[in-house]
Amino acid sequence: MNSPLKNKRILLTGGNGFLGSFVAKKLKERGCENIFIPQKKDYDLVKAQDIENVYRDAKPEVVLHLAAVVGGIGANRENPGKFFYDNLMMGVQLMEQARINKVEKFVSIGTICAYPKFTPVPFKEENLWNGYPEETNAPYGLAKKMLLVQSEAYRNQYGFNSLFLLPVNLYGPRDNFKPESSHVIPALIKKCVDAVKAGDAQITVWGTGKATREFLYADDCAEAILLAAEKYNKSEPVNIGAGFEISIKELTEMIAELTEFKGEIIWDKTKPDGQPRRSLDTAKAFKEFGFKAKISFKEGLKETVKWYKEQKPKANG
């Protein structure tokens, strides 16, 4: 593949994270050699001075902004202020410094949490402003959504080339399995694997199981990000997903089967379900830059379970 990114100086924030590790791998497969991944110990990307320093040191032509402070429903409930402030300050200042430093292209990774709580399914990009996000993760979702506003404003005033992508819930090997901050798939895999090992007769899962979600394998999402970086040059938001919907109950049963957990599943209905339904219309990504998810959900889950079992001591952090 002769990628237009090949000879560019690329700043990849969050490149040591879950999704970032897949993006870094795919950049290298495209022949990209000048990739700058800021380390947390060297740059606090919430602070203006550290952001100026990273631009001085990386001298990027392209910025892929993946860094984020994220977590599942529990983490969002515990840290609404932090999730809002850190994500907003990172994104807004990184884009402003990109403009000042005349960066050729800035790619922002948003979140499905930016959509209104009761968005009609499948979510279409034009529905993005038709209501308030689900309350549990609204501070995080709105902080990320402001990067879309900034992207459009900067294109209109400065001719600045920036994109805003909206990935659905991600999963895959190297995900975060820490109970205090993990999302639903790694949390369920950990519960089931740990229960099998301990010989437990039951596991407890948050909510009613009725909420639905769509999931995208992280390797597929990384490919979508790079296709957009190579081919897309508009500020209009684009959904990145796999184009299917599954209930949390069905998901839990599938993970129980793959992990060989045969015990009882208890639903803790005192805990929130989060947004009632989530599934994306993915037609625009295919039309604009040819992205279509390749990994089937069951195959992706198998790979994730396998990785967790092999890496369990490290994955638990």
Q: How many CB atoms are closer than 10 A to CB 288?
A: 17
- 140 catalytic residue (yes or no): yes
Give dist(CA 154, CA 66) in Å, integer. Answer: 19
Q: Which two tokens stand for residue 70?
A: 């994220």
The 3-state DSSP class for residue 113 equals helix
| Strand order, beta sheet including 10-13 | 35-36, 10-13, 62-65, 105-109, 162-167, 238-240
Catalytic hit among 43, 55, 115, 140: 140
Instruction: Please give the structure tokens belonging to residue 106.
Output: 């800035």
* Look-up of token digits 């948050």: 206
Tokens of 41: 């110990």
Cβ-in-10-Å burial (0-12, 13-18, 19+) of 105 comes to buried
Active site residues: 140
